[in-house]
Structures are given as C-alpha cells and as structure tokens.
Amino acid sequence: QERIHQFINLFETYQFEDGSIELWTKVIRIPEQVARYSNTYAAIIIDEFQEMKSIAYDMSNALFNEFKAKRQLIDEGAADLTASYRRQSQSRVAPMLVSGSAVTMIFKTVMGGPLGGRFGFTYVKPLSIPDGVTLLFHLIRIYRSDLSIQPEMAFYASSQVGGHPYYLYCLVHSKFEQKFDSREVIDALIEYETTEGKIFGFWQTHFQTNRHYINEDNDQELGKKIMYCFIQYNNQPVGIEEIAKKLNVSKKAVEEKIEKLYLADLVWRTKGRFYAFNDICLMRYIKFVYEQDLKDIDTIDLSLQSKYNVLKGRFLENVVQVTMMKFNNDEIQGEWLGKKGKIALPLFNVVDTRQVKASSTKSYQIDVFARRNKTTWLCECKYTKTKMGMNQVKNWNVRLMRQCVKPLKWVQLSLKFKCG
C-alpha cells in the first residue's frame, strides 16, 4: 500500500512532458515492486495485449494531433509498448498472463521479437454448451429482465452458437422482435444476427480490415470457392487436399489461400496444420456472403440439429445417472419398470457410462451402467416424440438377451420421457 501511495503521489505532482514514456516505465514496475516489498505474489493480467503495439506514439500531443488530422498515423510508427515488458515477463513474484482475440497477432507478439521465449501459448476455446446456458440466463437477468426463456430453449440457443459468449450477448441484445419462444424463433434470431445484426457487423468489419489478405486473389472466383469450402471444417483441421480435389486445383493454390486466412485470423495453426476455429457463426457469415455469388459448387449445410440431438441425448443420460445415484433402497410400484408388486431401488456402488465389446461383436455404448454386488442395471436412453411403449422395451430386452452367455434373472428398465 505504501508503494502504491508513493506512485499515486508521483503521478499527481510530477510534471511529465508531452510524449514522455517515463510514467509508463514506472507504471509497469509497480506490480513487481509491490510483490517484492510485501512478500506476496501479484499477477499482471492484460487482455488484447497485441493492441499495445499500435495505441501509443512517442511524440508531443501537438505533433500527434497534426499527424492524426492528416491521417498519417500508422501502426508502424507507434511505440511498441509490449517490448517494455521484457523484464516483467520473467518475474517470479509478478507473473504475466496476456490474452488477445486476434490470435495470429498475439502469437507473433509474445512468441517472437523482444518477448520471444518468455511465454507459452494456449488457445482458449469457447464456453461449454452448459456454461453457455448459465451465461445466457445471467445475461437475460442483467440486461433483459422483461424476457424469459425455458431451460430447453436456453440449451438449444447455446448449442447453436457453440457456447460463444459474444454471440450469446448479441442474441440477448438483438433488435429482432422475438427472442427465445421456440427453436424456430431462435433459428430466425440467429439468422437475423448473422445476416444483418451485431454478429454480421462484427465480421463485416473484420473482413474489411483484412481485405488485403482475404479478397485479393489472382483468381477471384477460385479464392471465393476456397473460402466457401473452408466453412465445412468448423473446429476441425482444414482439409487442404480435400478442397484441392473437390475444386480440381493444386494443393499449393489452396495452401496459399489458407495461409492468407491465417494472417487474417480466420484459422489458427498448431502441430504443423491449419485448424478452423470453433466458430459456427463465422462459418454462417462466410456462407451468407459467398454462397450467393458462386456457381457450380455443392451447397454446405451448417445446421447443427445433429449436434443438438447428441447433446440432448447426453443431457438425458446425465439426468438418469444422477437420478439413479440417489437410489437408496427405496421401494416403488413395479409398474414403472413393467413389473408387478413393488421393486426396491438399489443403493448402487457404481453409476456411469460404459463402452463394451465382446470378442465377436462390435463396440456398444451402455448409456447408464449401474452395479450393486451381483445386481446390474443397464439403461438405454432415448428421446422420443411420443411416450415410449413397453413393446419397444421388450424388443430391446430380446436383443440384449441374445448377447448373454448365461440367462439373466430379469432385465427390464423403462424410463419414460415425452420430449419434442
């Protein structure tokens, strides 16, 4: 506290000259000095760290305003403030954590130049779908208390934007009249945001800023086709050879285009390969912009219905598992499980999901596997539009019995859900 107080007094009383970076050099030393003198640890956390290469100019205010009026301020003329962290980045008492949304720029800033060898690099992925659901509820509570959303619709919305925090923010703040009433409304909301809303504006600005990488191709038509084919690899390695084969062009032509996308922060590179970001809304934007101008090319489907169904199935499995974990030898009416009388619900030792395979069979997933001593429950979870009947369960039991070496006393479990 004493060191911070001394710095504040210095800041308030010292007369710094225009364009002086003397104050800056004192500022960046404060966290380490406080940590050393107080025998504690301090963390230096800076977001959008790459912007510090182009936001400050070492010149007088008068000269700065003159250059700005003449539009002569360029990034190359700015003071590279990131280099001033060479010593601080190696501090043991005030370690640094820096981040940036422009992945290529932040990578070049911290992995090379004056800071080379001082940082490690980790790609931070979007939120998980369930975390996106939680964020969506918080955003609605904070910004739009007049809105309401059902848990299933929140889950669907999060899955359709890949749990991306900014896109969820855009959905909540959208000018689109309807918001989260149904899956069809959510689809229309996302389409609006991607084609004329905030998401569209964000990517339109990014593409215009990087047009010298994205749009300047010797063969404009081929460049657009490569861009369009690229969208099918969301969150996957970019299939350069596959694209080349599909468009009947050389791998070199595709590689050169993907390299430009890398420089424009539309792909990232690791382990010697290019990967598309986990960003389905970026892919939707590219599809919207490029598809209408292209001929003789297969349409790419970016709907995430299959992914949503998978996530919904996993969610159901988790619900059933948690329910069965709470069994405590209570009794229920046997009709719930297709039996007469009462049935005791065992206090299971193990409840989880299993992958099983016999020597002569293919691999099977047991959605819910539960065991207590010699008692084993196997549960197959299905979402159905109509209530599941006992005939379906009996057919499942018949298939199961065929896999058994020894006959089982009884195997029958019916968990009935009616879902859309």
pLDDT, position 280: 87
Cα(418)–Cα(286) distance, rounded to whole angstroms?
Answer: 38
Residue type, 129: I
Local confidence band at 131 (pLDDT 50, 70, 90 cut-offs): very high
Higher model confidence: residue 364 or residue 409? Answer: 364
Cα(151)–Cα(134) distance, rounded to whole angstroms?
Answer: 10
Q: Find the range with the poorest average confidence among 13-17, 142-146, 242-246, 394-398.
A: 13-17
The predicted model scores a pTM of: 0.66
Helix (H, G, I), strand (E, B) or coil at 235: coil
β-pair type (342-345, 375-379): unpaired
Cα(316)–Cα(310) distance, rounded to whole angstroms?
Answer: 10
Here the tokens at position 51 are 């912007």
Share of the chain above pLDDT 90, in %: 12
Q: What stretch of H or E contains 353?
A: strand 350-356
Spans of all domains in the chain? 2-115, 129-201, 210-291, 316-402
DSSP 44: E
Of the candidates 158, 189, 172, the residue with the CA atom closest to the CA atom of residue 280? 158
Of the candidates 291, 264, 269, the residue with the CA atom closest to the CA atom of residue 207? 264
pLDDT greater than 80 at residue 54: no
Q: Find the range with the poorest average confidence among 2-11, 119-128, 351-360.
A: 2-11
Which segments of 119-241 are extended strands (E)? none
Digit-coded pLDDT (tens) for 295-328: 766 777 777 666 666 667 777 888 888 888 888 8
pLDDT greater than 60 at residue 380: yes
Of the candidates 300, 341, 324, the residue with the CA atom closest to the CA atom of residue 378? 324
Higher model confidence: residue 231 or residue 169? Answer: 169
Any bridge partners for residue 375, and if so which? 372
Stretch 330-337: mean pLDDT = 80
Any bridge partners for residue 372, and if so which? 375
Packing angle between helix 251-263 and helix 220-230, nearest 10 degrees? 70
Here the tokens at position 16 are 């710094």
Digit-coded pLDDT (tens) for 55-76: 777 766 777 777 777 776 666 6
pLDDT, position 419: 43
3-state helix, strand, coil split of the chain in percent (to 5) is 50, 10, 40
Helix (H, G, I), strand (E, B) or coil at 100: coil
For the four alpha carbons of 157, 161, 162 and 167, in that order, the dihedral sign comes to negative
Here the tokens at position 14 are 């010292």
Stretch 177-191: mean pLDDT = 88
pLDDT greater than 90 at residue 134: yes
pLDDT greater than 80 at residue 360: no
pLDDT, position 29: 83
pLDDT greater than 70 at residue 376: yes
Residues shown for the chain: 420
Local confidence band at 420 (pLDDT 50, 70, 90 cut-offs): very low
Local confidence band at 382 (pLDDT 50, 70, 90 cut-offs): confident
Cα(296)–Cα(224) distance, rounded to whole angstroms?
Answer: 12
Q: Find the range with the poorest average confidence among 34-38, 53-57, 375-379.
A: 53-57
Helix (H, G, I), strand (E, B) or coil at 69: helix
For the four alpha carbons of 230, 255, 277 and 312, in that order, the dihedral sign comes to positive
Local confidence band at 237 (pLDDT 50, 70, 90 cut-offs): confident
Average pLDDT, the chain: 80
Cα(290)–Cα(302) distance, rounded to whole angstroms?
Answer: 14
Of the CATH numbers 3.30.559.10, 3.50.50.60, 1.10.1370.40, 1.10.10.10, which one belongs to the domain with range 210-291? 1.10.10.10
Q: What stretch of H or E contains 372?
A: strand 364-372
pLDDT greater than 50 at residue 417: no
